[in-house]
Amino acid sequence: MIPSNPDLSGRLALVTGASRGIGYQLCLQLAKAGAEIIAVARTVGGLEELDDAITELGGKCTLVPLDLKDHDGIDRLGGVIAERWGRLDIMVANAGILGAVSPVGQMKSKTFDELMSVNLTSVWRLIRTTEPLLRQSDAGRAILLSSSVAHTARAFWGPYAASKAAVEVLGRTWAAESEKTALRVNLVNPGGTRTHMRAQAMPGENPDSLPTAEQTAAKIIGLASPDLQETGKLWDVPTQSWKDYQLPA
């Protein structure tokens, strides 16, 4: 299990994909736990709604309208955080796009390149720009969102699945490289959740059969706790358990 109801008072959290869905709800719950939020998304309206909601909670939020295809913008973000705060305690790489559910050989190159830019390259740029800041924290925590399809090779989901599988390898490698520090890096499979992306992927599915983004976020926030000791693992939200990455001998 992971810590429940963590006390994040005085901690600084960066969340991408913050304007809706799981990212939006994670921002709210991190703020409720006491964290100051740096909310990153390309949808300004959603960010402003989030700011209002966090303000109502008595929390603090800095809005960063940024398209994660702007990789230079991600690099600049690290510098801005360093200048203003000097450290970062929590980084949540939540943003992602579906691309297209189609045969591997029929996906347009532009769609493939955009998917990899947002789902994979932006995560690497976030790791690169935030790692020095996270190491300045007494308990840096990085949370990278993945998906169950990274492990199933489901037909028609190839590029999206490949992007998430690559993020998992990046995250596990980063965790191994920082194992002897106070930084803890973990992956998350949120499972089926009532979000816009899920509706795109499964148009015939009854959304009422799925947990809400708020419910899913509540089962992830413990990964931000300073008390968490696990690193380089995958937290599976549907089963509320750690996935074992060890392969048979």
Q: What three-state secondary structure class fits 194? A: strand
The residue annotated as part of the active site, out of 157, 160, 174, 235, is: 160
Q: Is 24 a catalytic residue?
A: no
The DSSP-derived string for 149-189 is GGGT--TT-HHHHHHHHHHHHHHHHHHHHTTTSS-EEEEEE
Taking the C-alpha atoms of residue 14 and residue 90, their distance in angstroms, rounded to an integer, is: 6
Taking the C-alpha atoms of residue 78 and residue 87, their distance in angstroms, rounded to an integer, is: 9
- The kind and range of the H/E element at 13 are strand 12-16
- Beta pairing, strands 241-243 & 233-236: antiparallel
Residues near 199 by beta carbon (within 8 Å), at least 6 away in sequence: 205, 207
Cα angle 129, 131, 132 (rounded to 5 degrees) comes to 90
- The kind and range of the H/E element at 46 are helix 44-56
Q: Extract the tokens encoding 205.
A: 């599915």
Q: Rounded to 5 degrees, what are φ and ψ at 88? A: -140, 135
Q: Rounded to whole angstroms, what are the CA distances from 218 to 28, 177, 181, 208, 240?
A: 10, 29, 27, 18, 11
- Catalytic residue numbers read 160
